[in-house]
Amino acid sequence: MSTNTGTAPPAETALSRRGFFMKLGILFNGFAAIVLALPVARFLFSSITRGRGNGYLSWVPLGNVSNFPEGETRMATFRSPLVMPTDGKTVDTACWVRRIAGDQFQVFAINCAHLGCPVRWFQQSGLFMCPCHGGAYYRDGARASGPPERGLFEYPYQIENGVLTIDAGQLPTPGDPVARLTSEKPPCA
């Protein structure tokens, strides 16, 4: 015992064999952690990376153009392009279709531009109203009153063989409107 303590170098001054292996062990575990962390991070953030560059969006049909009478605003529903087996009814989405005239349309997201609650169309008042915090929009989607800072979100649309289709698939939110912004119009233009 006593001879051993005399010959072994003090731990503070020189690297002992065991100290070296312990450090190597830490390094080896760090390497293992990195090897494991990469696939874990890839899995965890897959919902972001998969949709990079609006990769979630695609053209979905809303129905025949003839379903939407001119000068009226009607609700239409579509199925989200990305469907997982456990989604249930959540992939069915509603939107408001306004046929101005002929092939001129406006397709509004159902989500209020304030905090995403479902807005309702009131034909008589000519307004979209939100039940949550009292946002209101004119028939062209422009902000009328209440907390929203902008007009309703609008989907890009096109007409293919008489079928109205929109570019949809992602929940529009104030920070990520996805579809193009509706321009603010003076209410009394």
CA distance 109 to 67: 18
**122 binds another protein per the rule CB under 8 A:** yes
Contact with another protein (CB under 8 A): which of 16, 125, 158, 183?
Answer: 125
Neighbours of 20 (CB within 10 A): 10
Phi, psi dihedrals of residue 106, rounded to the nearest 5°: -135, 130
Phi, psi dihedrals of residue 130, rounded to the nearest 5°: -105, 135
**93 binds another protein per the rule CB under 8 A:** yes
Q: How far is the CB of 177 from another protein (least distance, A)?
A: 9
Site string for another protein, 34-73 (x = CB under 8 A): -----------x-xx--x----x-----------------
DSSP 4-49: HHHHSPPTTTS--HHHHHHHHHHHHHHHHHHHHHHHHHHHHTHHHH
**134 binds another protein per the rule CB under 8 A:** yes
Q: Which two tokens stand for residue 133?
A: 């915090």
Site string for another protein, 148-167 (x = CB under 8 A): xx------------------
CA distance 135 to 183: 17
Q: How far is the CB of 87 from another protein (least distance, A)?
A: 4
Q: Binding residues for another protein, per CB under 8 A?
A: 45, 47-48, 51, 56, 75, 77, 80, 82, 84-94, 110-111, 114-120, 122, 124-127, 129-134, 136, 138-139, 144-149, 169-171, 173-176, 187-188
